[in-house]
Structure 1
Amino acid sequence: MMIDIVSAIQSPNASLAVQQPTQSDFSTWFSNEIARANQALGTADSQLKQLAAGDPIPVHEVMLSLEEAQLTFQLVTQVRNRLLEAYQDILKMQI
């Protein structure tokens, strides 16, 4: 159960609304994170190519883009690994 905190903060006299999470919340989030990781990797790659070509791009921006891409990719990879572990645990359960 999720409580809509933002609306409670905006109108403190209103009662807290309890919402049932939809089944697509996680899949939507995971799809968005994969797209975000792909975009971060593409941006980092393009900036790295620009730097290698001698374009005037600050090195610190390239390094920040590379680090952001790495962290985003690690997040997606760890979530995937945890999902696979949970799936394998479910398969091992006795019925």
Structure 2
Amino acid sequence: MIQNNMFSTQGIQSLQMQSTAQSKPSTPAETIESFGTYLQNALGSVAAQETQAHEMSNQFLVGKANVDQVMIASEQALLSLQLTTQVRNKVVEAYQEIMRTQL
């Protein structure tokens, strides 16, 4: 089964549990820091998938991996990269929309 580990629900559940466990409201700086950590972990996951795809292709060249394993690993890395690109595009678009609003 193909899974995208970049945006897993486990990370969301842990963030929800943390927010309900805290009795005081978090400051904007703490919220930005936790969001930044989440994005950093997501980008690290994408990089790890790309590294795994390269390792699988190297193992295929040596004869230690099947073609289907290599294709699955490379497609997972490609989909994660495309998702990351689309999320970045939406963030840039939202930023530009905010900058266009007049006060």
The TM-score with structure 1 as length reference comes to 0.70
- Equivalent positions of 1:1-95 (< 5 A) are 4=17, 17=21, 20=25, 22-51=31-60, 53-95=61-103
Looking at structure 2, the residues matched to 24 and 3 of structure 1 have their Cα atoms a distance apart, in angstroms, of 16
The answer on whether the counterparts of 1:43 and 1:65 sit within 8 Å (CA) in structure 2 is yes
In structure 1, how many angstroms separate the alpha carbons of the residues matched to 2:93 and 2:58?
37
Query: Post-superposition shift, 1:79?
Result: 1.2
| Identical counterparts, % of pairs | 32
- With a CA cutoff of 8 Å and minimum separation of 6, indicate the structure with the bigger relative contact order: 2
What is the DSSP-based 3-state SS (H/G/I as helix, E as strand, rest coil) of the residue aligned with 2:62?
coil
More helix by share: 2
What is the TM-score when the length of structure 2 is the normalising length?
0.66
- Report deviation, 1:55: 1.9
Unaligned stretches of 5+ residues in structure 1: 5-15
Two-structure CA RMSD over aligned residues (Å): 2.3
User: Any unmatched runs of 5+ in structure 2?
Assistant: 1-14
Number of residue-to-residue matches in the alignment: 83
Structure richer in strand, relative to its length: 1
Q: Which has the larger radius of gyration?
A: 1
